[in-house]
Amino acid sequence: MASKTGFIRKTSPYVRGEANVKRMMLDVLIALAPVTIFTIYKYEWTAVWIIAVAIISMVGTELVYYKLKKEPFTLKNGSALISALIYALILPDITPLWIVFLGGVFGMYFGKLVFGGLGANIFNVAGFARVFIVISFGAYLVYDLDTVAGATALGIVKEAPFNMMVLDNYPLWKLFTGVGEAGSIGELSGLLILIGGIYLFIRRSLDWRIPVSYIGTVLVLATVGALVTGADMSYPLFTILSGGILFGAIFMATDPITSPVTGPGRIYYGFGLGVITYFIRVFGALPEGVVFAILIMNMFVPALDYYKWANSKFTKRSVIVFSVVALLTIGLLIVGV
Amino acid sequence: MIRKTNQIRTLDELPKSLPTVSIDVPEKVYVTLMEMRTKTYTLSVAEGDQVKIGQIIGERDGGYFKQPIFSTVSGTVGKVVKKFTYSSKKTECLEIINDFKEEYAPRVKERADSEISKLTKEQIVEIVKENGVKGLGGGGFPAYIKLNTNDPIDVIILNGVECEPYLSADYQVIMKDSFEIFKGLEYVMQAMGTKRAIIGVKETKEKLLQKLIEVKEEHFKDLNVEIVGVGNYYPQGWEIELIKNTTGINVKPGTLLSEYGIVEFNVTTAQAIYQAVKYNKPVIDRYFTVTGDAISKPCEMTVRVGTPIPNIIEAAGGYGIEGDKVLILGGPMMGSNLLMDDAITSITVTSILVFKPEEHIEEPCVRCASCVYSCPAGLQPVQIMSAAKLKDGDAAKALNVMNCIECGLCSYVCTSKIHLTEFMRKAKKLVK
């Protein structure tokens, strides 16, 4: 009865969970679906073309790269597809297709493949591609970063960030639902983005810490700003519903590859994103800075993860340091506005 | 999935409760001469000698402690041979040819209760030492060393959690021998002068809770023992986790439990202490589980220590499949893998699992941090993996890899199916 052969070498543990990368990526695609469909409904063929070219350029680049390297194209998990879709959704509708293509190729190659492919990239691939085309072809985009289409809400507010008179033209419900508003093609409907976010949260395919800390930070800072300048209290809500904060917080900042690996680290990361985003809006030369904030914070990830201080739990010391930094930030804002 | 995970999935096709089968005492048993903590040994018998059950036939040397070696059958001493054991390596074992007389050595004799009640701490420690009682939950740590502490002990904790899936040795011992467990506990409390004890089992195992309460009500009304149901999650059986959930005390890894006034034993160890004190009898058999999707008839049985694995597999109906299998002694999370079934069971082994091989496609790490969230020791497995890849021992040390208990959760939860636990082992070697 006993057999002497056919025993396989394994090391413990011998069972594995059910989580897998493919499923996680599929979840992101599902979460992006409502936003994508709404975008196509709204921009019709323009959106279809931008999305198609983004996918062809990014997925194509990855495919060609692995063919040339003669490595098997094993990354069938859809990560390139997600980068491409997110990249397309943060573009203005007037972006010429050849720019979409160049940005896709450049972003995929220099944002991901040169670092060693999936998992090794430092920057969010879609954000990297987006910033590349803003810097290289800014003149073709006419409207500035993340906010588009003539008189976008943020473009106007830029002149006087706390003047709520201007905002009468942009009722919050319109910004929230995306009905009849202008902006980057995928960032219009806060509602649909939130639905995607809630789906990802239920599936546990995103870490709630990042969007909560990111949006929470912006809300707190905007509330302080409103209190100091005496602006209407709908201003904080306007701040998070306009521009790319919701989209960036839910679909880009949560990219696990380019975020820290500890719970506290992710809270700090979200905080940093919130501060940079809000400061660019209020003090910066650009009307919007979600993508820049994400790329800047991407660079701080290795520092947040550095083994000499990164901890998987909050410690007394880290809470004190974090509180001091947060208070200083609020102080800076009060002095600044 | 980016989340803390502490539930281990089990195969649906395997029955939740297993039938009990009987297994004959084998013609030959093989007694391990070296174990995890004992690297050398001396034998006091020679080939051809007659031995009896419970007879001392030699001594294992673990450096700062020595442990007697017992015969688990009566019969004739054979040769020293090399067999695979729990260590996954070939280890020297003494063959004993069974004469099936089942005679006990003269040293195995009953102590009167009146005599036991007068035993001092030193005497109980000595009896436990003489009978080689060790951590039967799998740790194998000599029980007398735990008892021999000079720290004041406030509470004795018995661990009946058995958190790895499929295993049932603790379940069986509580269902069948609760009385002996309580008795053993009573002796430990007597030795330590401790007034309080806790028995921890999973709250989901209602039968166990019922049984323990029943026996306590019937025989041990005056004993201050709390029966505590703890959460059904992995690794609840880790002593640090169990102590936290039963007493609220946070034990720092690397410190001794006695510093916190705690002594912790597995329930089966308590039973073994009873057997040692009452009958001067070492552990000669263990409750056992044989299961897996490559086993014909998954079942439970009582196995003589030193039984060859093929005998046990045969009692379970043999292998259910032809071709490749994964053979595991111990649990699916922390057990050890054998490349041949020419192996024997030793005192700490209570299960054999045989699975069809499962293939996993490993993908690049996406830094989802599920391993960080799930690590019961609060470590950052993904960062330790990076340190291991860079051969950076300093970083691995600073990341506290030495606190890793190799529970296997990091590999289990990994979204990319990376074998992180293996990297933890590599990183530990870098620190050493």
* Interface probe, candidates B11, B312, B326, B366, chain A, greatest A C-beta count within 10 A: B366
Residue A106 and residue A22 share a domain: yes
Low-confidence winner among A15-24, A130-139, B36-45, B240-249 (lowest mean pLDDT): A130-139
Residue B90 and residue B158 share a domain: no
Report the C-alpha gap between A91 and A155 in whole angstroms.
Answer: 16
Task: Considering only the beta carbons, identify the residue of A204, A305, A313 that sits closest to B2.
Answer: A204
- Chain B residue numbers with beta carbons less than 8 Å from the beta carbon of A120 are 364
Q: Residue A151 — pLDDT band, cuts 50, 70, 90?
A: very low
For A24-64, the pLDDT digits (tens) are 999 999 999 999 999 898 888 989 999 999 999 999 999 99
- Minimal Cα distance from B369: which residue of A? A261
Could you give the maximum distance between any two Cα atoms of chain A, in Å? 87
| DSSP classification of residue B365 | -
Q: Could you tell me the residue range of the domain that residue A244 belongs to?
A: 158-166+207-337
Q: Are B342 and A5 in contact (CB under 8 A)?
A: no
Residue B94 and residue B117 share a domain: no
Report the C-alpha gap between A140 and A92 in whole angstroms.
Answer: 11
Report the C-alpha gap between B337 and B326 in whole angstroms.
Answer: 7
Closest by Cα among B156, B350, B407, B183 to B258: B156
Mean local confidence (pLDDT), B11-28: 89
- Chain B residue numbers with beta carbons less than 8 Å from the beta carbon of A21 are 363, 366, 415-416
Q: Are B268 and B167 in contact (CB under 8 A)?
A: no
Residue B248 and residue B127 share a domain: yes
Residues 10..29 of A with a Cβ closer than 8 Å to B: which? Answer: 10-21, 24
Residue A250 and residue A102 share a domain: no
Residue B258 and residue B160 share a domain: yes
Mean local confidence (pLDDT), A177-184: 58
Supply angle C-alpha B301, B304, B308, rounded to 5.
Answer: 95
- Chain A residue numbers with beta carbons less than 8 Å from the beta carbon of B358 are 14-16
- pTM summary value: 0.89
Say yes or no for a CB contact (<8 Å) between B369 and A16. no
pLDDT attached to residue A160: 56
| DSSP classification of residue A256 | G
Q: Are A269 and A304 in contact (CB under 8 A)?
A: yes
Q: Are A166 and A157 in contact (CB under 8 A)?
A: yes
Residue B220 and residue B241 share a domain: yes
At how many degrees (to 10) do helices B169-192 and B206-219 cross? 40
Judge if the upstream peptide bond of residue B253 is cis by omega within 30 degrees of 0: no
Residue A328 and residue A245 share a domain: yes
Residue A4 lies in a domain: no
- Chain B residue numbers with beta carbons less than 8 Å from the beta carbon of A264 are none
Residue A195 and residue A211 share a domain: no
pLDDT attached to residue A260: 95
End-to-end Cα, chain B, rounded Å: 34
Say yes or no for a CB contact (<8 Å) between B2 and A206. yes
pLDDT attached to residue A1: 45
pLDDT at position B342 over 70? yes
Residue A162 and residue A287 share a domain: yes
- Minimal Cα distance from B374: which residue of A? A312
Q: Are B236 and B202 in contact (CB under 8 A)?
A: yes
Distance from CA of B268 to the nearest CA of A (A): 24
- Chain B residue numbers with beta carbons less than 8 Å from the beta carbon of A305 are 383
Residue A171 lies in a domain: no
Mean local confidence (pLDDT), B258-264: 94
pLDDT at position B364 over 80? yes
- Chain B residue numbers with beta carbons less than 8 Å from the beta carbon of A313 are 378
Decide which of B355, B385, B417 is a domain's last residue: B355
pLDDT attached to residue A73: 66
Tokens of A229: 């300048």
Beta bridge partners of B285: B304
Say yes or no for a CB contact (<8 Å) between A14 and B355. yes
Residue A153 lies in a domain: no
pLDDT at position A262 over 60? yes
pLDDT at position B38 over 90? no
Q: Are B73 and B98 in contact (CB under 8 A)?
A: yes
Please state, for a pLDDT cut of 70, what percent of chain A lies above it. 84
Residue B250 and residue B138 share a domain: yes
Residue A29 and residue A113 share a domain: yes
Distance from CA of A244 to the nearest CA of B (A): 23
Residue A240 and residue A188 share a domain: no
Residue B221 and residue B235 share a domain: yes
Task: Considering only the beta carbons, identify the residue of A15, A119, A205 that sits closest to B2.
Answer: A205
Residue B44 lies in a domain: yes
Residue A135 and residue A277 share a domain: no
Say yes or no for a CB contact (<8 Å) between B325 and A15. no
**How many CB pairs (< 8 A) connect A and B?**
171
pLDDT at position A213 over 80? yes
Residue B411 and residue B350 share a domain: no
User: Number of folded domains in chain B?
Assistant: 3
For B153-198, the pLDDT digits (tens) are 999 999 999 889 999 999 999 999 999 999 999 999 999 999 999 9
Residue A122 and residue A69 share a domain: yes
Distance from CA of B258 to the nearest CA of A (A): 26
Closest by Cα among B303, B359, B322 to B168: B303
Q: Tokens 């904790």 belong to which residue?
A: B157
Residue A190 and residue A220 share a domain: no
Contacts of A273 (CB under 8 A, 6+ apart): A210, A214, A217, A248, A249, A253, A293, A294, A297
Q: Residue A156 — pLDDT band, cuts 50, 70, 90?
A: low
Q: Residue B253 — pLDDT band, cuts 50, 70, 90?
A: confident
Residue B204 and residue B163 share a domain: yes
Report the C-alpha gap between A64 and A82 in whole angstroms.
Answer: 18
Distance from CA of B136 to the nearest CA of A (A): 20
Mean local confidence (pLDDT), B243-253: 92
Residue B362 lies in a domain: no
For B376-419, the pLDDT digits (tens) are 999 999 999 999 999 999 999 999 999 999 999 999 999 999 99
Residue A332 and residue A229 share a domain: yes
pLDDT at position B59 over 90? yes
User: Number of folded domains in chain A?
Assistant: 2
Low-confidence winner among A171-175, A180-184, B29-33 (lowest mean pLDDT): A180-184
Residue A251 and residue A189 share a domain: no
For B62-121, the pLDDT digits (tens) are 888 889 999 999 999 999 999 998 888 889 999 999 999 999 999 999 999 999 999 999
Q: Could you tell me the residue range of the domain that residue B53 belongs to?
A: 11-106+283-355
Residue B361 lies in a domain: no
Tokens of A261: 């690996």
Residues 172..231 of A with a Cβ closer than 8 Å to B: which? Answer: 203-207
Residue B34 and residue B140 share a domain: no
DSSP three-state, residue A203: coil
Q: What is the mean pLDDT of chain B?
A: 93
Q: What is the mean pLDDT of chain A?
A: 85
Distance from CA of B340 to the nearest CA of A (A): 6
Residue B179 lies in a domain: yes
For B209-234, the pLDDT digits (tens) are 999 999 999 999 999 999 999 999 99
Say yes or no for a CB contact (<8 Å) between B380 and A262. yes
pLDDT attached to residue B188: 95
